[in-house]
A and B are shown apart, each in its own frame.
Chain A
Amino acid sequence: MSILKEALESGKFGVTAEMAPPKGYDFAEQMEAAEVLKGKVHAVNVTDMQSACLKATGLGLCIKLKQAGVEPILQMTGRDRNRMALMGDALAAAGFGIDTMLALTGDHPVVGDCRDSKPVYDLDSVGILKMLTKMEETGCDCGGNEIAGGAPKFYKGASVTPLYDPMFLQVNKLRQKVEAGAMYIQTQGIFDLDVLKRFLEEVDKAGIKTHIMAGIIPLKGAGGAKYMNENVPGIAVPQEMIDKLAAAAAEGKEKGIKGLPAKLGMEMAAEMIAKIKDEKLCDGVHVMAIGAEKNVPTILDLAGVSV
């Protein structure tokens, strides 16, 4: 049974991290991070060519993580694979004991680094979830043909962007994802608890019942935060946080200490996690460290969260 499912359904505070496969075939860095994350999180999302930039396929890293004793979450987007390829990946994943996945639409190839690639989008996130749910219910593949030995079961997840205008569209799509079989939801990075609270109220009002894990992005500095504000949809780092990071950088420069902004970013992330847990706002957190996965255990320690 999916370890994340077990955690969330037994009322534990779920903790997931995120990792990208290498742009190459040397997985050493990912495996080092895996060793650090082992036992500190319930599972680790493996991204599917995030930002439409070419990487080794996620299934490859998922298998490696599984073999290293870290529970992987296979992210599946409809950007590069049609329904046959997605279902084939699901079966292959199940063959390696991978039982947790997360469906996404996927960034368009033209925003990535292989812009001549043909966008597929045979299925969107809702379509991927529906296809897997139907597979589980019928024991058949996407063409209605029986799957030898029966269909594998997945703990299926999806994502949501709490900061979105008009909110109706996000909540409406979230409801469709849940109806299509998503059992847990990870949010885009949250930097303002009021934004999260307003979103959760809308979810409640819509009568949507699911496990929501708040997305946490530890900031590394003022520049990065500003960049995300300008370029990443659904991200809004408050100016106050950016100012504090800038002040930390100035202090570091003055005292000759390196890494003060990143340290502050970790503390801010930890504070956010602790509040979310203490105020019981969400059922867990999803920490997206964007290359700094090794910091995740420290952040969780600071937040007083263990799995």
Chain B
Amino acid sequence: MIITQKKPIEEVMAMVGDAKTVAIVGCNSCATACQTGGQPQIDELTKVLEAAGKKVVATTICDYCCMNLGVKSKMKAINAANPDVVVCMSCGDGVQCVAKNANNKPVYPSNNTMYLGEAVRFGVWEESCRFCGQCVLGSTGAICPITQCAKSLVNGPCGGQKNGKCEVNPENPCAWIKIYERLNATGELDKLSKTREDKGYGDFAYPRTISLRGK
């Protein structure tokens, strides 16, 4: 899931600025799980805005703020309330999608979008994928070196680990030692013998569009 973190409230209030009426859009998927864009967070933000003398004229929660059609339908009620500004409590993708459907009203993010992560337990999310577009997990014991190695090394470790911990953050284990241990356990150490073919970054110029509809 897309991991988000709340921006400092001062930053959100600075964006809202002198606006008198505000609408809030939450997101029922990742941001709800991250406790950054569900109903409790909408209620919390409403209180803060009202305490600052703003009027919250409408709120809604999209199933997915990143799905244009659903957002379009939910935004009807928001637009009908004609707020001065909209605060969107989703990831950066959702904010952009909501803004497209906000009748040219300013849309401001209440969150910072952090990474694609795994909920390892309630309230704890670990970064797990960096969307490199060239998935190597099949030969690395399903442990991502692009994400879990601070240097994204693909051909084995650097010399920087100390007692199995990464030089960049000593709380993190060296990804390559984890990969070695997993492949050793699965009997696949031979997968490390070949240098990975360098595919470069030529095909990864952004922004990209993937379509199942042909061109």
> Residues on A close to B: CB < 8 A?
79, 83, 105-108, 110-111, 119, 121-124, 126-127, 130-131, 159-161, 164-166, 168-170, 172-173, 175-176, 179-180, 188, 233-234
Contact = CB atoms under 8 A, between A and B. Distances in A.
Contact of B159 (A79, A131, A164): A164
B53 to A, nearest CB: 38
Nearest to B195: A176
Contacts of A175: 193
B198 A168 contact: no
A234 B164 CA distance: 11
23 contacts: A105-B158, A108-B151, A108-B160, A111-B168, A121-B151, A121-B152, A121-B153, A123-B198, A124-B151, A126-B195, A127-B155, A127-B198, A131-B198, A160-B159, A161-B159, A165-B164, A166-B177, A169-B156, A169-B180, A173-B157, A188-B159, A233-B160, A233-B162
A108 B168 contact: yes
B67 interface: no
A169 to B, nearest CB: 5
Given A127-B155, A169-B176, 12 more contacts: A105-B151, A106-B151, A108-B160, A121-B153, A123-B198, A124-B154, A124-B155, A126-B195, A165-B164, A170-B159, A172-B156, A180-B195
Contacts of B153: 105, 121, 124
A111 B180 contact: no
Contacts, number: 76
Contacts of A233: 159-162, 167
Contact of A108 (B157, B167, B189, B201): B167
Contacts of B116: none
A173 B151 contact: no
Interface footprint category on B = 20 to 34
Contacts of A179: 195
A179 to B, nearest CB: 7
A121 to B, nearest CB: 5
Nearest to B160: A233
Contacts of A170: 157, 159
A169 B157 contact: yes
A122 B164 CA distance: 24
B192 interface: yes
B150 interface: yes
A172 B161 contact: no
B108 to A, nearest CB: 26
Contacts of A161: 159
Interface in B77-136: none
Nearest to A126: B155
Contacts of B201: 122
Interface in B161-215: 161-162, 164, 167-168, 176-177, 180, 189, 192-193, 195, 198, 200-201
A195 to B, nearest CB: 14
Contacts of B168: 108, 110-111
Interface string B53-79: 000000000000000000000000000
A188 B159 CA distance: 9
Contacts of A108: 150-151, 160, 167-168
